[in-house]
Structure 1
């Protein structure tokens, strides 16, 4: 019993997946600590306003990147395998120029909306700065993950800066200091800026000396892919953050804060999906473009094994410990355990579906991915409009879970049909059946 587990943990892919998941779990724990402490150091309405503007900033950052962060993942691996430094240089220069201009437009739009709403200039400035730095980290993490390491990419994007913010919030809590949304967003921006600088330095050291290399371009390919990546990224971030904005708009700031807290806890499974995407985005494209099909399938199988274990453990933790976790945000959050369970079921199904979205996008099938995610957003929006007036915040959770489950099934079907790969945990049943078949054949041979 112990030997198979030891062998499983010694596999290089297993260590990579587990390490990435641990990084995501650590960043998720820090995010949980950050948001729970924020709820404790703010009024209920203040926390709801903070959560809503944070969601707006995240959406604006993705809109401003115009798909360049996903484009880099898609083509950097291809050009690295194909030994094309000229195209690497051209891609980096093009992405930086496009994203810089688009980000200025997105930030200006957010600032104008905040100004017409009558928000204070300090909040407008904080949200604008946070949007810019968050976009920089998104773009830098994709480059760092491909050229340096997952720790440099994801660690600086989601882990290290949160340590400083959590310490800041602890100091505010013990000092009985009540924060407003602008102060906390400003503190987060400053901490994230340190991580962005570290990423820039690491990327500059990891890049080959391209000064003497003439930049080449495949502009038509880049534009076509970037458009689909951009639409997909907008729809994905809308799935994560637009819910909070809608709850804020349809109900009230305090309820938006409650929904935000429950959705962040349910994101334990979304963290698993993000970890699988981070690991897959670094390993799978090179295996795919080098046509190493055996190692490609082996990697997916081991990813499915780790996913299955994490999903079971995560659901048990949410079911049993959910009220205690919600209570860390404040006593009035505890009554929403049913909302947390419903949201967790949806994100667990998504995690069990595996990195189907990543496989479709990174293997050249990004066009089919966009309509599916768009349908998910539309279905969720309809569900919100129908169920929130009837069931309140629980209706929002039900709509989110149903749309997420249907999208996961659709993406897995498309992934199997377009790539011949089953990325979900169901692939383990096929491998188990194959093993039983082999044992049966061996048993028959021995009997003969």
Structure 2
């Protein structure tokens, strides 16, 4: 077994997946440190307010980008493979313009809602700034990931700026100083701005050849895809962040803070899914559009091997140390260990399902993805309305997990039917039972819709 693991880790694809996962895990570790320190630097209600406004700002960032971040992943890879630099320049200019307009509208909506609620002007300003910079990093990371590297894209988006915020929180705790949500949002926005500037500089360095190219546009095609991506992004954001807002509304700020902490810890497995998406978004589209099906199948198999190992190890850590992990946020968090365990089971199942959502979106089947996400959101919200009055915050966790499991199954079935690819860890059992070791056949879809 040890020799097999060594052989697995020597493969280029395995190292790429493992490196991406390590980057995501490091980012998740910093996020965990940041949120646990923030919970200790604020009162329970203030941390709940911070978690709720953070969820609102994250949703606003996604809404304001109007699907342009996924549009760039889709078309930058296609145009690069075909050598169509004029269309590459055109889609970059179009996406920057559309996202800038959308983000201004989204920020105005946040400010209006906060003002009506009578929030402090500094909180309104800091949350708006955070949402704006966060959307810039989300868009920039997609461009940097496709044109520069995964490290430049994801490192600046999720890793480097968090180091500065964690150091600030440690200093505040050692100085026995309480922070307000507004102050933390302001610190996050400033640190993220520095990462965004580095990201922009790296992108500009690899685009000198586009200055002499006349931009060409495929606006009808981009608009159709962007709208579907936008709906998918909003639904994904609702799945990830709207839970906290509902718990805040249906229960109280302190409970919303507990649910937020448990969901961030359960995101250990969501980080694995995100890492697979990050790696897949850089590698799979070029293989797909160049019709390199054998290498595509080989890559997916190795991704499944790494996923299976990480899911098993992660479940052991979370289920065995749930109370201790939550206790790092504060003594009153530790009592909700079953909330964390239930949420972790759902995100682990999603991770084991593999990057089915990414494959569907990046191969021209995004229209198949949106109905599944819609059903997931509706089922989750219905579960919240039924289970929270009955079981409290544990009911919210059960609803989230059940909806996530059903959505993962549906996406995997769609992925196999539409593309001929099984992205889940189950592909390993299929391959091991195959006498000739042959892989599945990839069916290429018409991506010009």
Same fold (TM over 0.5): yes
- 2:199 maps to which residue? 199
Contact 2:311 2:351 in 1 (8 A): yes
- 2:212 maps to which residue? 212
CA distance in 2, matches of 1:436, 1:216: 47
- Counterpart secondary structure, 2:239: helix
How far 1:160 sits from its partner (Å)? 0.4
- 2:159 maps to which residue? 159
CA distance in 2, matches of 1:91, 1:52: 34
- Counterpart secondary structure, 1:267: helix
Structure 1 segment 11-410 matched on structure 2, within 5 A:
11-410=11-410
- Counterpart secondary structure, 2:424: coil
TM-score normalized with structure 1 length: 0.97
- 1:443 maps to which residue? none
Q: For residues 153-207 of structure 1, what are the alpha-carbon distances to aligned partners after superposition, in whole Å with 9 as ceiling and x for unaligned?
A: 0000000000000000000001000011000010010000010000000000012
CA distance in 1, matches of 2:337, 2:4: 37
Contact 2:431 2:437 in 1 (8 A): no
- Counterpart secondary structure, 1:209: helix
- Counterpart secondary structure, 1:217: coil
CA distance in 2, matches of 1:15, 1:335: 39
CA distance in 2, matches of 1:163, 1:90: 35
Query: Structure 1 segments of 4 or more deviating over 6 A?
Result: none
- Counterpart secondary structure, 2:210: coil
CA distance in 2, matches of 1:21, 1:13: 12
Q: For residues 407-429 of structure 1, what are the alpha-carbon distances to aligned partners after superposition, in whole Å with 9 as ceiling and x for unaligned?
A: 00000000000000000000000
CA distance in 1, matches of 2:45, 2:114: 17
- 1:441 maps to which residue? none
- 1:445 maps to which residue? none
Q: For residues 284-338 of structure 1, what are the alpha-carbon distances to aligned partners after superposition, in whole Å with 9 as ceiling and x for unaligned?
A: 0000000000000000000000000000000000111111111110000000000
Structural RMSD (CA): 0.9
How far 1:435 sits from its partner (Å)? 5.2
How far 1:436 sits from its partner (Å)? 8.4
CA distance in 2, matches of 1:104, 1:389: 37
- Residues 105 and 437 of structure 1: CA distance in aligned 2, closer, same or farther (over 3 Å): closer
- 1:426 maps to which residue? 426
Gaps of 5+ in 1: 439-448
Gaps of 5+ in 2: 439-449
Q: What is the number of residues matched between the two proteins?
A: 438
How far 1:434 sits from its partner (Å)? 1.5
How far 1:4 sits from its partner (Å)? 2.0
How far 1:2 sits from its partner (Å)? 3.0
- Residues 47 and 437 of structure 1: CA distance in aligned 2, closer, same or farther (over 3 Å): closer
CA distance in 2, matches of 1:126, 1:35: 17
CA distance in 2, matches of 1:308, 1:211: 45
